[in-house]
Structure 1
Amino acid sequence: MSFMSRTVPPTADVVIVGGGVMGTSIAYHLAEAGVHHIVVIERGELGSGSSGKPIGGVRAQFSDPLNIELGSRSLRAWQDFGQRPGADIRLDSVGYLFALTSDQQTADFETAVRIQNSLGVPSRMIGPREAHQLCPYLSTDGLVAAAYSPTDGHARPGLAVQGYARAAARAGVAFATHTTVTGLDTTGDRVTAVHTDHGRISCSTVICAAGAWSERLGAMAGVHLPVRPVRRQLAFTAPLAPPAPRIPFTIDFASTAYFHNSDDGLLFGLADPAQADGFDTTWTPDWLQLFRTAVQRRAPALADMETTSGWAGLYEVTPDHNALIGRAGAPHNFLYATGFSGHGFLQAPAVGEIMRDIHLERTPFIDVTPFCADRFTTGVQTRPEIHVV
């Protein structure tokens, strides 16, 4: 993108660290609201961290009301993305389908669906037969029930990053790519400057949207952001003939194995429970055996499908699998939006609005104080999300 540069201005009102979907969404929403002199700093290319990996699920099917509201508001923004900010993100509203194989899972999802429905989400519980009709790959053997919401789906995160970034650049936002933050200056209870490998920026506000790298940035400001990096991998099948049916984003909840349409084949994924923390993003296809074993019973036709390529990316995981969103107590001009634990892309539009409002000291559309970073030390705990994919 031609508006990107490796030069940093000497001063800025707002410095956003992280050029993924969260950082570009925040930049766009701030600029749209009339905030000037915004700089986005990205250590690689825009979207080269977690946002560049094409899982792209968008949904409002969560168990916690706050996550439901963030997902639902974001879904509406994704649906309107062609008009605002104006880009095609290849949104495919095929729905999300959670396959449930125990009475306890079913009871938990029934509770979640009631909460979702009370907040306007059209999710519903369905039986094995209807689940198979929606996704012919699903076997009904051992399937107790499923949860389905037709307005969920998937899009292309890389296109969303580009869409937000181009609109933000048109509004005057500067993007410094291949630029690494090396330190922060603090005076009293304020951050006064950001040091990078391409120069120093005096600034009034710093916003951390650095994903899996956020703990390091927070430490520079004396703010504890408990985010750990965990590798997640996915794979693409060879082109399928006849073509795959158009199916929901389908998840075997017990194993976390998931799959959905992707170009002329399917995308496969699974959360490896033995994956160690770390920043390694090497794709190692041996994890696919875990996926094949998991789907052997739930979607047996997938177990023998040929795969041709894949990706590895990082989840930014917090202790309770909920986000960190807010303003630090000190330094008071250090804001953060990170730790989304796999939900960052789908929540990015709503969080962009919220960070805009926190910066401008407006009241956001929803109270996100339960997501403050100090909840783990103050004892104010959020409820862990049951849907972690």
Structure 2
Amino acid sequence: MPPHLGPICVVGAGIIGASAALHLIESGARDVIVIDAGEPLAGTTPAGAGFVARFGADHNRRLGSCTIPLQEYGLEFYRGLHESGADLEFASNGNVVLACTPTMLDTLADGIMGHPHVGAGTRVLDADGVTEVMCGAVDPAAVAGGIYMPEAIQLTTGLAQQEIITRL
């Protein structure tokens, strides 16, 4: 990290702000201050679903492939926290992106399955396949199918935020 002339102030102690501060410190910054309008965990972070996957909800349609390395890093980062013993309620259970119509399933399949960085084991599911992978939690009559991404993880965002804050 290049030298700087003064302290670095990170505005927001949610998971993004706390993570930014941690990464600044790990990159060599020595004077990092985090400020927030409220108490830790008082914002939107605890409401997050905690899904982390190579392909976001819109399969990188808006931001393009440049987001893939960041999402892969996120997978690595949270796996690393988990493997270090952090209690994140971590689950390496994959992720299913559901499609309610055949047209949406085709759109998802084109965007994810046709991508050069598609993860190993990623596959298109029909409605019955979705029900099977989701252990019966999804009625096959309610969906056209989905895309299963086995490398995806889930964690409790509030616990991840707390862990990151303790490492600052």
Report the TM-score when normalising by structure 1.
0.37
Residue 33 of structure 1 corresponds to which residue in structure 2? 27
1:139-178 equivalences under 5 Å are 139-141=139-141, 143-168=143-168
Residue 20 of structure 1 corresponds to which residue in structure 2? 14
Q: CA deviation at 1:98?
A: 2.2
For residue 131 of structure 1, give the secondary structure of its aligned residue in structure 2. helix
Residue 88 of structure 1 corresponds to which residue in structure 2? 87
Aligned equivalents of 2:36 and 2:143: distance in 1?
A: 45
Residue 79 of structure 1 corresponds to which residue in structure 2? 79
Query: Looking at CA atoms only, which structure, 1 or 2, has the larger radius of gyration?
Result: 1
Structure 1: stretches of 5+ with no match in the other structure: 1-10, 169-389
More helix by share: 2
For residue 40 of structure 1, give the secondary structure of its aligned residue in structure 2. strand
Aligned equivalents of 2:140 and 2:46: distance in 1?
A: 34
For residue 74 of structure 1, give the secondary structure of its aligned residue in structure 2. helix
Residue 112 of structure 1 corresponds to which residue in structure 2? 111
Aligned equivalents of 1:137 and 1:114: distance in 2?
A: 24
For residue 141 of structure 2, give the secondary structure of its aligned residue in structure 1. coil
Aligned equivalents of 1:160 and 1:142: distance in 2?
A: 33
Aligned equivalents of 2:114 and 2:66: distance in 1?
A: 11
Residues 89 and 159, structure 1, Cα contact 8 Å, conserved in 2: yes
The AA in structure 2 aligned to 1:112 is: G
Residues 12 and 39, structure 1, Cα contact 8 Å, conserved in 2: no
Residue 199 of structure 1 corresponds to which residue in structure 2? none
What per-residue deviation string (whole Å, max 9, x for no partner) do you get for residues 93-132 of structure 1? 222112223222012111122244x215232111222211
Q: CA deviation at 1:67?
A: 3.2
What per-residue deviation string (whole Å, max 9, x for no partner) do you get for residues 118-154 of structure 1? 2152321112222111120222225322111112232
Aligned equivalents of 1:112 and 1:102: distance in 2?
A: 15
* Cα 1:43/1:149, change in 2 over 3 Å: same
For residue 82 of structure 2, give the secondary structure of its aligned residue in structure 1. coil
For residue 81 of structure 1, give the secondary structure of its aligned residue in structure 2. helix
1:97-246 equivalences under 5 Å are 97-116=96-115, 118-122=116-120, 123-135=122-134, 136-141=136-141, 143-168=143-168
Aligned residue-pair number: 156
The AA in structure 1 aligned to 2:89 is: R
What value does the CA root-mean-square deviation take over the aligned residues? 2.1
Aligned equivalents of 1:68 and 1:104: distance in 2?
A: 24
Report the TM-score when normalising by structure 2.
0.81
What per-residue deviation string (whole Å, max 9, x for no partner) do you get for residues 208-238 of structure 1? xxxxxxxxxxxxxxxxxxxxxxxxxxxxxxx
Q: CA deviation at 1:44?
A: 0.9
Aligned equivalents of 1:99 and 1:57: distance in 2?
A: 14
What per-residue deviation string (whole Å, max 9, x for no partner) do you get for residues 153-189 of structure 1? 3211111112111111xxxxxxxxxxxxxxxxxxxxx
* Cα 1:137/1:162, change in 2 over 3 Å: closer
Residues 50 and 155, structure 2, Cα contact 8 Å, conserved in 1: yes
Residues 113 and 125, structure 1, Cα contact 8 Å, conserved in 2: no
For residue 90 of structure 2, give the secondary structure of its aligned residue in structure 1. coil
For residue 82 of structure 1, give the secondary structure of its aligned residue in structure 2. helix
The AA in structure 2 aligned to 1:90 is: E
For residue 103 of structure 2, give the secondary structure of its aligned residue in structure 1. helix
Structure 2: stretches of 5+ with no match in the other structure: none
What per-residue deviation string (whole Å, max 9, x for no partner) do you get for residues 336-365 of structure 1? xxxxxxxxxxxxxxxxxxxxxxxxxxxxxx
Greater displacement, 135-144 / 158-167: 135-144
Higher relative contact order (CA 8 A, sep 6+): 2
Aligned equivalents of 1:142 and 1:42: distance in 2?
A: 42
